[in-house]
Amino acid sequence: MKRLGFIMISIFSCLCFVGFGQTVGGFQGHQYHVLSAGQFVYPELDSLNNPVEIPQNPSDDFSLAWYAPFKHPGDASCYDKLELGVQLADPINRRIIKERGTKGAINPFNPEEVDVYAEFFYKLGNKWFGPVRINGFYYEDYKRQTDDWSKVETDHNFRIRYAPPLVGAYKCKVTTVLKDRDTLSNTEFLFNCTESSNKGFVNVGENKRYLNVGDEPYFPVGQNLTGPNKKTLSIEWGNKVAPPYMYEDFYELMGELSDNGANYFRYIVSPWQSEIEFEHLGYYGNRMSNAWEFDNILDTAKALDMKMHYNMAMHYTFESPSIYTMTYWDWSAKGDPLSPIYKEDAACWWDNDKGYCYRNELDMVNPSDFLSDSTAISFYKRRLRYMVARWGYSTSIGVMELLSEANNFGQQGIIDHDTRNGKTGCYRVPDTANIAEEPYHDRPEEIIPDLMAWQIEMCRYIKEDLGHTQHPIALNYTGTPDSENGDYAYYSDYVDIASYNSYFLSVNKAEKTYRKVTEFYHNEKSEENYLNKPMMNSEYGTGAGTYRCDGNAGFIRRACLTPFTGTTTSGITWDCHLNEFEVWQYLRPMRELLEGIPLDAENWSVQKPMVQNNNSVEVFHLRKGEWGQNSKIVGAISNRTFNYWTQGDTVTCLDSTKRPIDAYVKMIDYNAEDLDKSAMRFKNMGSRKSYQIHWFNAITGDFISTTIQTSSSFGRLSLVFPGVLTGSKERPILFFQICRSDVSFKP
């Protein structure tokens, strides 16, 4: 059969070499099609397990194969994974696969020693446009056992992954450069790309407030997931990486989150799970099982139709030691002068603790030096290069976030080995002797220029040097970056999204979030602070452990109110990683409420919250860009007396010193007639226009009713809700959608 100028011959239903590797769904044959001299060629098979070798074509310098999509070689699908395999000649390959440190060995993770890449060209009319360069990566295959992984032999140890974005004809040429001297290449080949159901990559909308997937609106609603972990969430306090069975549990957890209506989750690459570089600088061979499992995490996300907020590094590794008493996975080695150890506290450090490879192999005791050291920067870029090469193809990654809580870089904790309440362990203690350091706060004039420059350079490297612009890149801080001391990293042209983590205990936290996002960063009247970019709450919580005893009030309020504060996502809760207290069920109503609303295309914007004078009831809402009689509004009306204090155990859990004003501690039910209607009305709705208001129970998502109201002669529309706004979980929050009576709310 002839297609696009090359011949494809199928034998035994296109089956070729067969190996086995475990995926989320069980075992799957890793089959491929040989590419030789630009043609798809298949060997005759003595049997399925004994293929006859294909002689190497003289015009090709190495073995090349088409792995995915397998069923129809030469036919790819838009935005879906196209995977090629590359195997170099045996004399070269024997040097590549030797153990690290062997004399004469080639480090396959160092592109200066071996650089495998593909160049893709797209045909438009009679002309070829390109190339788009996609870097290859070293690959090892595995099978998952209960407590470990067993390596599975693969015929192609280098892989190239690409997601073609356009329907039509492509050609591809694969090249390998050895130690910047010998250039090896294969004959270019042709393939075709067809339509698919994949909508493409997440992207920032034209109006810089909301996200799209391809051309369709996308509002992320989800949860932070810590990744593979113990049921006690304690693996990070040990010195072993997550074993295989924890990944199996994690895939089930991802499914549970999806089943509860989430379309998004945040995942932080950490040294005890998906990190590829911790023990060895620039060599990831001992962590290829981690990379293999991360392949499966993305495959699972794709199957569940969820997007990942991909945070590419955990800040703990840059602390000495971590303030959360993680002494093994931090920067420091045992006995470091920056990690004060009293003799009686030595048990808090593992005897084999050599510290992060950047500290250990570069003899860099102070993590602050990492930010400006040229050798460290070079190695870290190599790490990012591998991650982008292996996973940059995936549309299941929504946003790439460079580093979690950048402003915690270099901080230290003082740790005490003690027995408290009958439990012996390591505890963080107050730094009364001023031994520990928090560079971002203690010496901002020194750390901020380096931290800002490092983050911007890494974002620039991804976008320009690697040419990877498919995923928006976010920078993440806890709280607010210190702009007074010059931290303007958010404002760099290489940064697409401003992400921040918000922890404090307050009943009116949603209102405060609105002020921070809209009145500070998105305030066009502020020449100094105005940020024309979407903002995300990557971690959202109280920081007070209230989720354990507040009757789910905190999670419900976060899920239902944060989408109307000006952020481009719902607040992504940090607590409840294992769906404790079955809180994830409250995500579905919000996702369904906003799904399909073209927030960017119609230039929807957040509006100032409307709050009753007695602070008991609040309204948060978004409004379509076109005001007047064609206005559309979506929002929530909330009873603030449903909160941490009225639903929780204020004696054993909640800090009594932070108790709010009396209006927030007494639970009260409200009817519409109990409220001051002048505080609950929308302006500029057109004179004497009829509107339909659709009401939903925010807790269950159930439709309640549709009411019809008419705007006043002055264009004001009062919000009169049906039934009772309870102070209990029964119906403390109502969702509403408002539009003219003669139109539908959603397109």
> Could you give the C-alpha distances from 48 to 12, 15, 42, 129, 657, in angstroms and in order?
9, 8, 12, 40, 72
What type of residue sits at position 595? E
Q: Give the mean pLDDT of 520-527.
A: 94
Q: Which of 424-432's residues contact partners 24+ apart within 8 Å by CB, and which partners?
A: 426/325, 426/327, 426/345, 426/347, 426/348, 427/325, 428/323, 428/324, 428/325
Tokens of 426: 């390591």
Question: Of 284, 294, 282, 289, nearest to 251 (Cα)?
Answer: 294
Q: Give the mean pLDDT of 455-483.
A: 97
**pLDDT, tens digit (0-9, with 9 covering 90-100), for 92-149:** 999 998 777 788 899 999 999 999 999 999 999 999 999 999 999 999 999 998 889 9
State the CB neighbour count (10 A cutoff) for residue 99. Answer: 9
Q: How far apart are the C-alpha atoms of 17 and 680, rounded to whole Å?
A: 68
Q: How far apart are the C-alpha atoms of 341 and 410, rounded to whole Å?
A: 17
For residue 244, say if its preceding peptide bond is cis, omega within 30 degrees of 0: no
What type of residue sits at position 676? D
DSSP state of 53: P
**pLDDT, tens digit (0-9, with 9 covering 90-100), for 705-730:** 999 999 999 999 999 999 999 999 99
Q: Is pLDDT of 9 > 60?
A: no
Least confident of 3-17, 508-522, 565-579: 3-17
Q: How far apart are the C-alpha atoms of 302 and 300, rounded to whole Å?
A: 5
Question: Of 447, 440, 499, nearest to 472 (Cα)?
Answer: 499
Q: Is pLDDT of 297 > 70?
A: yes
Half-sphere exposure of 630 (CA within 13 A, CB side): 5
**Banded model confidence at residue 71, pLDDT cuts 50, 70, 90:** confident
What local confidence, expressed as pLDDT, does residue 679 receive?
A: 85
Q: How far apart are the C-alpha atoms of 109 and 682, rounded to whole Å?
A: 59
Question: Of 10, 154, 141, 18, nearest to 74 (Cα)?
Answer: 10
**Banded model confidence at residue 55, pLDDT cuts 50, 70, 90:** low
3-state SS of 384-447 is: HHHHHHHHCCCCCEEEEECCCCHHHCCCCCEEEEEEECCEEEEEEECCCCCCCCCHHHHCHHHH
Q: How far apart are the C-alpha atoms of 492 and 456, rounded to whole Å?
A: 7
What local confidence, expressed as pLDDT, does residue 340 receive?
A: 61
- % of the chain surpassing 90 pLDDT: 80
Q: How far apart are the C-alpha atoms of 381 and 658, rounded to whole Å?
A: 45
Q: Is pLDDT of 437 > 80?
A: yes
The residues facing 691 across adjacent strands are 709, 740
Q: How far apart are the C-alpha atoms of 521 and 508, rounded to whole Å?
A: 19
User: Residue 521 in contact with residue 694, Cβ under 8 Å?
Assistant: no
In 37-101, at which residue ranges do the beta strands (DSSP E only) sit? 39-41, 45-47, 50-51, 63-68, 75-77, 82-87
Q: Is pLDDT of 400 > 60?
A: yes
Tokens of 9: 């011959």
Q: Which residues have C-beta within 8 Å of that of residue 731, sequence separation ≥ 6? A: 697, 698, 699, 723, 724, 725
What local confidence, expressed as pLDDT, does residue 29 receive?
A: 43
User: Residue 642 in contact with residue 732, Cβ under 8 Å?
Assistant: yes
- % of the chain surpassing 70 pLDDT: 93
**pLDDT, tens digit (0-9, with 9 covering 90-100), for 602-625:** 999 999 999 998 889 999 999 998
What local confidence, expressed as pLDDT, does residue 42 receive?
A: 66
Q: How far apart are the C-alpha atoms of 642 and 668, rounded to whole Å?
A: 8
Q: Give the predicted TM-score (pTM) of the model.
A: 0.93
What type of residue sits at position 330? D
Q: Give the mean pLDDT of 321-349.
A: 83
What local confidence, expressed as pLDDT, does residue 14 receive?
A: 32
- Concatenating the DSSP letter of every residue in 285-320 gives GGGHHHHHHHHHHHHHHHHHT-EEEEE---GGGGSS
Q: Give the mean pLDDT of 491-506.
A: 96
**pLDDT, tens digit (0-9, with 9 covering 90-100), for 15-39:** 333 322 222 222 344 689 999 999 9
List phi, psi (to 5°) of 423: -115, 120
- Strands 63-68 vs 724-725: parallel, antiparallel or unpaired: unpaired
**pLDDT, tens digit (0-9, with 9 covering 90-100), for 182-236:** 999 999 999 999 999 999 999 999 999 999 999 999 999 999 999 999 999 999 9
* Cα R_g (the chain), whole angstroms: 28
Which CATH number describes the domain made up of 2-194? 2.60.40.10
Q: Which alpha helices (DSSP H) does 471-528 contain, by range?
A: 509-514
Q: To 10 degrees, what angle do helices 444-460 and 374-391 make? A: 40
What local confidence, expressed as pLDDT, does residue 31 receive?
A: 85
Q: Give the mean pLDDT of 226-253.
A: 96
Q: Mean pLDDT over all residues of the chain? A: 91
Q: Which of 415-419's residues contact partners 24+ apart within 8 Å by CB, and which partners?
A: 415/321, 415/325, 415/327, 415/345, 415/348, 416/342, 416/345, 416/348, 417/344, 417/345, 417/346, 417/347, 417/348
Q: Which residues have C-beta within 8 Å of that of residue 563, sequence separation ≥ 6? A: 219, 221, 569, 570, 590, 594, 622
Q: Is pLDDT of 374 > 90?
A: yes
- The residue extents of the domains of the chain are 2-194
